[in-house]
Amino acid sequence: MLHTNTSDGVPDSSAKFYAAGVILAIAYLHSKEIAYRDMKPENCLIDKFGYPKLVDFGFAKIINGTLLTLTYSLTLTHSYLLTHSYSLLLTHSLTYSLTHSLTSGKSYTLCGTPEYLAPELVLGRGHNKSVDYWAFGILIYEMQAGYSPFADNQSMDQVVICRNIVNCKLSFPRNFNAECKDLTIKLLAKEIHTRLGNLKGGTDDIKNHAWFKSLNFDNYMTRGIVAPWIPKVKSNNDTSNFDPIGTYSLTYLLTHLLTYLLTYLPTYLLSQVLTTTLIILITKTRPIGTKTFKDTFILTNNYIL
């Protein structure tokens, strides 16, 4: 609903409602020392009550500790007073271990959607849970403006997107809510020690921001606020609000299958490949149970590998 055939973005009141649910989810994850690391509109679904739900935890990771780095100056000053070389070496080793334990709260995995990556992720300097606050700022911006702030609108070049993120030059459309703009700027702080959410107050600093002053989070937690849009859901198994999985022509599938096989599979698996090809020829594009032909094709490939 963020991007439709007729419009991009949502009204300010709707953006605030959905952002509230997302920040509550982030707050809970962070209370368990879990970094989400995959914020994007596609991972924010709407439940049958109209409230947002964060999904897809494939990139989520437990990240403990801080990003503080100690210097050796104090310890080495004492070390220089020692006369025995072995004592000097031992003291230096202990200091290194202490430093390592304090900097273990970093992850160096590059993951996430390019337009939502924080600068420290792009630069590979190591990151902590604060990348979620940056991505949350991108999400708010996209809900308000209808596009993400660092996108390459010409060619969607990921290198250009990453360069825009590192340069961190923000511009806002005229109709951007002033209070939301202030919050977004504070969330998209390039330096993590100044980024809202990563300060002493944590996620409370975000919830207490002026943009959220008209929203009662206690009522929100009990679904006491009417959602901007409530989907029509007939049952718990109703998938009518999702786009159907399209079917592919036999020629298309076989072409991609052969390209994949010639590129990745060793010779000794060719017999299994022939069996798979026969299965595809027999099934053609007919549904098999509740699985479409596309699903069968993907499952078969996974089985081979």
**Residues that are catalytic:** 38
Q: Name which of 61, 47, 45, 54 is nearest 25 in CA terms.
A: 54
Alpha helices in the chain (DSSP H): 12-31, 73-79, 85-102, 119-123, 131-145, 158-167, 178-187, 203-207, 217-221, 250-264, 270-283, 293-304
Amino acid found at 291: K
**Alpha-carbon distance 57 to 38, whole Å?**
8
**Alpha-carbon distance 107 to 125, whole Å?**
9
150, 112 Cβ separation under 8 angstroms: no
182 contacts: CB under 8 Å, gap ≥ 6: 209, 210, 211
Token duo for residue 102: 């304090």
Token duo for residue 237: 């198994």
